[in-house]
Structure 1
Amino acid sequence: MSGPVFLSGSTMRHVLVMTGTSSVGLIAMFTVDVVDMFFLTLLGEQRLVAAVGFAGALLFFLLSLGIGLQIALGALVARAEGNRDRPLAGRYCSSVLWFNALSVGLVAAFVWIQLPELLQLLGASGDTLNYALAYSRIQIPAVPLLVLGMSLSAGLRAVGDARHSMYATLAGAGTNALLDPILIFYFGLGIEGAAWASVASRVVVVAYAGYVLFARHRLATRVSPRMVMSDAPAIMVIAIPAVLTNLATPLGNSLVLRMMSQFGDSAVAASAVMGRLAPLAFAVVFAVSGAVGPIVGQNAGARRYDRVRQTLLDASKFVVAYVAVAWLILWLAQDFLVAKFTVSALAADLLRFYIYFLVGAFAFNGLLFVANASFNNLGRAYLATLFNYAKVFLGVVPAAYLGASLYGARGLMIGEALGASLFGVLGLFSALALVRRLQRDYPPLNL
């Protein structure tokens, strides 16, 4: 890469290109998750699907930890690139990789030790608990690989190489999709086969992204333990609030799942299916937040806050338009989805209700994703933390509890959607206000 690439040209074009390349990889990855669920439903056992739902809540917690950690790498590298300081970008890249691997390894070890208790806390019991344990005991030791792969991909995006970041994710997803039917059916491993396929995919992502970042971009440099410790304060200023921000969502999801478990395994299975379909349907929305970060980071590093503001507006317009299209597609495909992914009347009813009435609310989640990406890359990561926890504890959880009390499982879903919507709007308005203030106080650098 010859210098920062986001300081000129159309911000909408940068958003679309970065989102497009990122979303292709995410769509492939989330498609494999849906295929996993489909293969497990073919085994005809509702408890297998519910088990993946419970295990998925724990894995989402660890995934969110990894997302927060890789945000620190992307933000630090992108801002150093925007300031045209490649040696500093390389040092930050290496230091954060070490920091992330060690941090998530410690957390994964704790989760492994407490696994039965944590799954029971979520509401798993009986055979469903045993299936969830079998699945999780394979997946959790490989979580550090998952986080390393995410961090390496974040480094590629931070220097503008979204294409190879996409290829890494595609390679991992392809590996997973290839091994799934072989391990689940041919070798008869069932739910454990799905877990081993996921582990193999993580190895592939780390190998590919690491090769491109180290051998082609030569971004990462050799660092000593003392250098990592010296860089730790700068890392933690972003990583701690970013991790806390991202842990809010799985924490809220776990509380909601616990509430849903009172309505039985069929309701939990429906939640598990929705939890796989939504990321696939809205992979592009998830990709927008990852796309916005490097663009905001490089322009903030050059104090081009006019371009930062335009990036946020362009990303928000794109999110709303995309969700509208995705909602229409899900509406048209609902009969197919219900037939293929549900095996009980209650699960089918809840999935249809979600598609009819609640899909559009995801646009507000997307607005908050955009706002949080800007907070993390503008030195105000604590605001992302504040908004995510406010969304969960002032919006989602109380509204879901009230809805469940009044109208059962449907009411819970309505409350969850409404509780999240308000904070998406408030988060975006706050991000734009922050950019206006920075634009007033800090003139552009003459780079």
Structure 2
Amino acid sequence: MKKNKRTMDLTAGNPLVQIFLFSLPLVFGTLFQQLYSFADTVIVGRFLGVSALGAVGSTYSLHFLTLGFVQGACIGFGIPIAQSFGAKNRDDIHRYLWNGMWLCLMMALLLTVVMFFAAAPLLQLVHTPDDLFPMALTYIRIIFLGIPTSILYNYSASALRAFGDSRHPFYFLLISSLLNILLDYLLIVHFHMGVDGAAWATVLSQLISGLLNTWWLLSKIELIEIRRTDFALSRFHIRQLCVIGLPMGFEYSVSAIGAVIMQNAINLLGSVAVAAQTAGEKIRQMFTLPMESVGMAMATYAGQNYGAGRIDRIKSGIKNGLLIQGIYCIFAWIVIFFCKGWFVELVLGSKSGEVSALAIQYLAIISTLFIFHGALMIFRNVLQGLGYSIQAILSGIGELIGRSIGGWLAVSFFGYTAICYSNPLAWALALFYCVWMVTRILKKIQTKQ
């Protein structure tokens, strides 16, 4: 297969350098993605008030439930493409790419219809406070109408990363991030659309990034040819995509169910707790999303090297990935330790009182335990890159258990403090399983070689 300048072969070269260079655009991409989410939070909190912020925050677990499935499935659909690229199998690359497109179209139609009509019952199920319910319902229904744009972006970005191109998804995400901030300000401040404006800004900006990714994938990646024969459905390739992609989606959703359970507990603690956790969680995500980007890089790295039969490089990649995550966790903790009060004030303003104090408490506790999240992203994504997506579902069950325990302790005994420990507990339980499973699978593969 002809090597081309728009792809990156991760089966050769220094693993540390390769992982770092490949993950760097992903890190910047998630930072800018979180930047527009953070800007959305700031604009909503400052111009619409704490109630509107709480309404948007109360939908996070439901948003995570669907977005998690979409992200997991689309990342999973990219794994066979990465494995085929590593194995230098051009025909399989095309068949996986186009059959993945058909699966995405079916998934978009089904999820959009189901989640739009299920929005109100689901918000009631998690005990959304009555004063927040109308705004929350309007916001989440618009987000659900935008599910096809989320699928378009995630699948096109996953396909580009499978070819080793992590730069262009970042460039296009940067464009959409800036557009989202601009639309947030225009729709909320100038057109007075309230939380509706925040939702539409997110959907429209994601559509733009998805279209740009797709354009680049089809017109600029030299390996891809548009051939009519490749558009035909292939039972074998559909099955392989489903075996890897759908379990990854379910694994993300199982984890998200834990977030729904925890959100239910937060809602039961009242509007102040909802607003505080929303502010703290938005800031937390800005710091942990780069860890998830390194994890996504590891999935592509493991997929390409598994296709090439380079298990030695996968082991070396795990060590170097953990090193990158450890250094970053120390940096993130230092920044949050000194700046958490300023971050919270930026989101909520200087007159939020109890809400600000609880948000600062959330950040102080969770930042000391970031390493569990960083290590989990390495081992979970290696497991997925190897194609063992069904086993990865169990790591999501570990997160569900952790968040469920945290929510139960919050409502029954310790209140808001237990909420602060729920995510780290979830990460630790999932990490324990993923370490054991990856070690076992790599030994099994090496025995067969």
The two structures have a TM-score, normalised by structure 2, of 0.93
The 8 Å contact of residues 260 and 268 in structure 1, kept in 2 or not, is answered as yes
Alpha-carbon distance in 1 for matches of 2:88, 2:230: 24
1:116 corresponding residue in structure 2: 120
2:130 maps to 1:126: yes
Q: Kindly provide the amino acid, as one letter, of the partner of residue 279 in structure 2.
A: V
SS at match of 1:8: coil
**Would the aligned equivalents of 1:266 and 1:344 in 2 still touch at CA under 8 Å?**
no
- 1:369 deviates by 1.9
Q: Measure the CA separation in 1 of the matches of 2:422 and 2:182.
A: 39
In structure 2, how many angstroms separate the alpha carbons of the residues matched to 1:278 and 1:361? 11
Structure 1 unaligned residues grouped into runs of 5+: 443-447
Change (3 A) 1:419 1:215: closer
Q: How far apart, in 1, do the equivalents of 2:406 and 2:28 lie?
A: 34
What is the total number of aligned residue pairs between the two structures?
441
Amino acid paired to 2:404: V
Instruction: Provide the C-alpha distance between the structure 2 equivalents of 1:402 and 1:277, rounded to a whole number of angstroms.
Output: 24
1:169-180 paired onto structure 2 within 5 Å: 169-180=173-184
- Matching residue within 317, 324, 330 for 1:311: 317
Specify the code of the residue in structure 1 equivalent to 2:446.
Q
Give the 3 Å change call, closer, same or farther, for CA 45–178 of structure 1 in structure 2.
closer
Partner-residue secondary structure (3-state), 2:59: helix
- AA aligned to 2:198 is A
Contact 2:127 2:264 in 1 (8 A): yes
CA contact (8 A) 2:8 2:163 kept: yes
Q: Distance in 2 between matches of 1:360 and 1:61?
A: 26
* Shift in CA distance, 338/399, structure 1 to aligned 2, threshold 3 Å: closer
* C-alpha displacement of 1:253: 0.7
Q: Any gaps of 5 or more consecutive residues in structure 2?
A: none
- Structure 1 residue 322 corresponds to structure 2 residue 328: yes
Q: Distance in 2 between matches of 1:192 and 1:318?
A: 39
In the aligned structure 2, how far is the partner of 1:44 from the partner of 1:84? 53
Task: For residue 344 of structure 1, report the CA deviation from its aligned partner.
Answer: 3.6
Structure 2 counterpart of 1:338, one-letter code = V
Displacement after TM superposition at 1:415 (Å): 4.2
Aligned with residue 444 of structure 2, among 434, 437, 443: 437
User: Which region of structure 1 is more displaced relative to structure 2, 270-279 or 396-405?
Assistant: 396-405
> Letter of the aligned partner of 1:162 in structure 2?
S
> Which of 349, 361, 385 is 2:393 aligned to?
385
Change (3 A) 1:270 1:223: farther
Aligned to 1:256: 262
Structure 2 contact 45–347 (Cα < 8 Å) conserved: yes
Identity of counterpart residues, as a percentage? 22
Cα distance in 2 for residues equivalent to 1:250 and 1:419: 11
Change (3 A) 1:335 1:390: closer
Q: Please, which of 239, 243, 249 is the counterpart of residue 245 of structure 2?
A: 239
Per mean C-alpha deviation after superposition, the further-off stretch among 368-377 and 253-262 is 368-377
Q: 1:22 to 1:431 in 2, by over 3 A?
A: same
Matched AA of 2:418: G
| Residue aligning to 1:299 | 305
Relative to structure 2, which stretch is displaced further, 209-218 or 362-371?
Answer: 362-371
How far, CA to CA, are the matches of 1:220 and 1:187 in structure 2? 44
Distance 2:387 2:38 in 1: 36
Distance of aligned partners of 1:101 and 1:365 in 2 relative to their CA distance in 1, 3 Å threshold = farther
Kindly indicate whether the alpha-carbon contact (under 8 Å) linking 2:128 and 2:264 is maintained by their aligned counterparts in 1: no
Greater CA drift, 181-190 or 403-412: 403-412
1:82 pairs, out of 70, 83, 86, with 86
Hey, what's the Cα distance between the residues in 1 that align with 2:98 and 2:362? 43
Distance 2:136 2:83 in 1: 41
Structure 1 window deviating more from structure 2 (212-221 vs 113-122): it is 212-221
After superposition, the Cα gap between the structure-2 partners of 1:419 and 1:199, relative to the gap in structure 1 and judged at 3 Å, is closer
1:411 counterpart residue number:
418
User: What is the match of residue 356 of structure 1?
Assistant: 364
Q: Which amino acid aligns with 1:280?
A: M
Q: How far 1:357 moved relative to its partner?
A: 2.2
